[in-house]
Structure 1
Amino acid sequence: MSQAETKPRTIGQQETSRNLDITPHPSVKHCADKVNAKYIHGRPEPELVPSRYALKVGAIDVTVISDGVLSLPGAMLGHNVDKTVREAWLEDMFLPPDVLEWALNVVLVRSGDQTILVDAGIGAEFPDLKRAGKLVQRLDDAGIDLSSVTDVVLTHLHMDHMGGLLVDGVKEVLRPDLRIHVAAAEVKFWAESPDFSRVSMPPGFPDALRESAKRFLKEYRNQLRPFEDEHEVAPGVRVQRTGGHTPGHSVVRLASGGQRLTFAGDAVFQVGFEHPDWYNGFEHDPEEAARVRISLLRELAANRESLLATHLSFPSVCHVAVDGDVFRWVPGPWEY
């Protein structure tokens, strides 16, 4: 047996056959190639910025970890508005009109004797997305052992929120008694025939989403702890189903020592403050998603609690203010 054959693989290295089995749709690869060619940062290795940010909510420790950046067409921001209106907003935000870079934020929460991973990033199934799927590496860089995670909360089962659990070698490191909390409505949606009639995604994405969700449900069936509408995961850590983005989409609410923070998953996107009625291309029920977004933003503005979200620029810690009929994003103070 050769040296190459005996060398152990590290977490994240994919089998060639697995890569062949899950090759993304050509349109997805074309989008990735275009973006990778256009937005080359030339950062040296190792990264200069650790891409993690720590804060406290009372007695609860919170670490925001960047899973990288996912580049998608600008039209994904609001497919129900005129292209010129959307492009004008992007220009006002100093962003290119055709491609929007979505942050991928994951949260690690420590409450009592529990260590909770909220969402798990996109994973390594899509090697053409070269700047995404960094969670395993960045957890390791932060000195966070996957085997210390007692619970996982998934806001929903889109591949950029649970794909990190499908990375080669990850399941073997996780605790055998790991509890994965996800809304029962979400499990049912993906286990049956998920409806994509209302979304507006590039070709190839629906098939990729279906396949990754099916694989996840098969591999982690025994660890799932479905809940109906609300569930307390740990002291001061509560997951609450909102629906809209997907039928079982949920948010995570933290409360301790008079302080509060909400991780909103995909309920709030960058454009959602000024234009909460714009439909995101990944929303399975756009009208309900808009209602959820407006209701959540009104609540956060009223109680002045902090907000984190998956696709707001890292580390995404902010507050919400009401500005007339819309909302305003207020960056949180940098804690150091």
Structure 2
Amino acid sequence: MESLELQDITFKWLNGGVTRMDGGAMFGVVPKPLWSRKYEVNEKNQIELRTDPIYFQLDGKNVLIESGIGSGKLTDKQKRNYGVTEESSIGDSLNSLGLTPEDIDIILMTHMHFDHACGLSKYEGDHLVSVFPNAEIYTSRTEWDEMRNPNMRSKNTYWKENWECITHQVKPFTDEVEVLPGVKMIHTGGHSEGHSIITIERGGSKFIHMADLMPTHAHKNPLWVLAYDDYPMTSIHAKEKWIQKAVDEGYWFLFYHDAVYRALKWNGKGEVEESIKREK
């Protein structure tokens, strides 16, 4: 289990499963000869995307960023379509830290697409129950509203199986919320109308999780946005603002999907200055 430890905070990446999505969709209008130089692609034109929640403990609270792809929730057809070869084993990851899912106090959901939210619930017999029954689950009000009332396009990724049994745990916010001292969720829109990013500032160290505005290190160029983005120009403007700010101010970038890097820092020349790579 990879970790990043700075000042009074340690991030650990749990095993949330893996998808292999179409590279063309993940890089939108960017030609394959360009993006394939920066991110490995297989013979089916699929790229590996982890769905690994980021755990940290702060001020006595056990916190997760995102929830993984879940286990036992996807049909064989869905696994095939999304290139899922491994489902979540969050319980095992937490056990290795001396924790259980019941010990999680807070979950920060940047958005509620299936590959982020499937891990919030599980089947017990024929019924769905919360995986993290004691957690407060934060997401933007805009995201939560669309999750429960998806439109023609978004109904393919906002599933009632991922929200019905956790309704009482959700704490929606508008614009921005400071969940813990120095831990903020900021509504950006772009990838989805309710998409948010996370910034963490503790003891002189700064971190940012751009979520699906920048799912991998190869998406650093503000113009390289996903075909899945509902509002691509909003994504571009948000990336221009936040990536530049984070680089200028020495933030660590934390990744949920990246199959190469768990976290990294870029210098002003666009070079990777420090990094934590995923162990394969």
**TM-score, normalising length from structure 2?**
0.84
**Which of these residues, 243, 246, 264, is aligned with residue 318 of structure 1?**
264
**CA pair 333-207 structure 1, distance change in 2 beyond 3 A:** closer
Deviation track 1:196-255 (CA, whole Å, cap 9, x = no partner) reads: 3xxxxxxxxx55413x2x233321111111110111112222211111111111112111
Question: Match for residue 111 of structure 2?
Answer: 156
**CA pair 86-315 structure 1, distance change in 2 beyond 3 A:** closer
3-state SS of the aligned residue for 2:4?
A: strand
Q: How many residues align?
A: 264
Map 1:71-86; keep pairs closer than 5 Å.
71-81=20-30, 85-86=31-32
Cα distance in 2 for partners of 1:261, 1:193 equals 31
**CA pair 91-111 structure 1, distance change in 2 beyond 3 A:** closer
**CA pair 331-61 structure 1, distance change in 2 beyond 3 A:** closer
**CA pair 301-174 structure 1, distance change in 2 beyond 3 A:** closer
3-state SS of the aligned residue for 1:220?
A: helix
Q: Is contact 1:308-1:316 (8 Å) kept?
A: yes
Q: Is contact 2:17-2:70 (8 Å) kept?
A: no
**Which of these residues, 142, 146, 153, is aligned with residue 101 of structure 2?**
146
Cα distance in 1 for partners of 2:240, 2:271 equals 12
Cα distance in 2 for partners of 1:59, 1:77 equals 35
Question: Match for residue 70 of structure 1?
Answer: 19
Question: Match for residue 55 of structure 2?
Answer: 108
Q: Is contact 2:213-2:225 (8 Å) kept?
A: no
Question: Match for residue 64 of structure 2?
Answer: 117
Q: CA deviation at 1:61?
A: 2.9
Cα distance in 1 for partners of 2:209, 2:38 equals 27
Map 1:299-314; keep pairs closer than 5 Å.
299-313=245-259
**CA pair 94-113 structure 1, distance change in 2 beyond 3 A:** closer
**CA pair 92-181 structure 1, distance change in 2 beyond 3 A:** closer
**CA pair 114-171 structure 1, distance change in 2 beyond 3 A:** farther
Unaligned runs of 5+ in 1: 1-51, 197-205
Cα distance in 1 for partners of 2:25, 2:143 equals 22
Between 1:180-189 and 1:90-99, the stretch displaced more is 90-99
**Which of these residues, 128, 132, 136, is aligned with residue 179 of structure 1?**
136
Between 1:277-286 and 1:86-95, the stretch displaced more is 86-95
**CA pair 272-291 structure 1, distance change in 2 beyond 3 A:** same
3-state SS of the aligned residue for 1:297?
A: helix
Question: Match for residue 166 of structure 2?
Answer: 220
Question: Match for residue 27 of structure 1?
Answer: none
Q: Is contact 1:276-1:290 (8 Å) kept?
A: yes
Pair 1:257-2:203 in alignment:
yes
Q: Is contact 1:65-1:315 (8 Å) kept?
A: no
Question: Match for residue 3 of structure 1?
Answer: none
Counterpart of 2:123, as a letter, is D
Runs in 1 of length 4+ with deviation above 6 angstroms?
A: none
**CA pair 277-215 structure 1, distance change in 2 beyond 3 A:** same
**Which of these residues, 150, 166, 174, is aligned with residue 121 of structure 2?**
166
Cα distance in 1 for partners of 2:32, 2:98 equals 41
Judging by fraction of residues, say which structure has more strand. 2
**Which of these residues, 230, 236, 250, is aligned with residue 284 of structure 1?**
230
Judging by fraction of residues, say which structure has more helix. 1
**TM-score, normalising length from structure 1?**
0.71
3-state SS of the aligned residue for 2:3?
A: strand
Cα distance in 1 for partners of 2:35, 2:130 equals 45
**CA pair 171-329 structure 1, distance change in 2 beyond 3 A:** farther
Question: Match for residue 157 of structure 2?
Answer: 209
Q: CA deviation at 1:111?
A: 0.8
Q: CA deviation at 1:135?
A: 2.6
Between 1:108-117 and 1:306-315, the stretch displaced more is 306-315
Q: Is contact 1:298-1:322 (8 Å) kept?
A: no
Unaligned runs of 5+ in 2: none
Q: CA deviation at 1:102?
A: 1.1
Cα distance in 2 for partners of 1:60, 1:258 equals 11
Cα distance in 1 for partners of 2:260, 2:129 equals 27
Deviation track 1:168-208 (CA, whole Å, cap 9, x = no partner) reads: 359466344x3111100101122223353xxxxxxxxx554
Question: Match for residue 34 of structure 1?
Answer: none
**Aligned residues: percent identity?**
19
**CA pair 225-283 structure 1, distance change in 2 beyond 3 A:** same
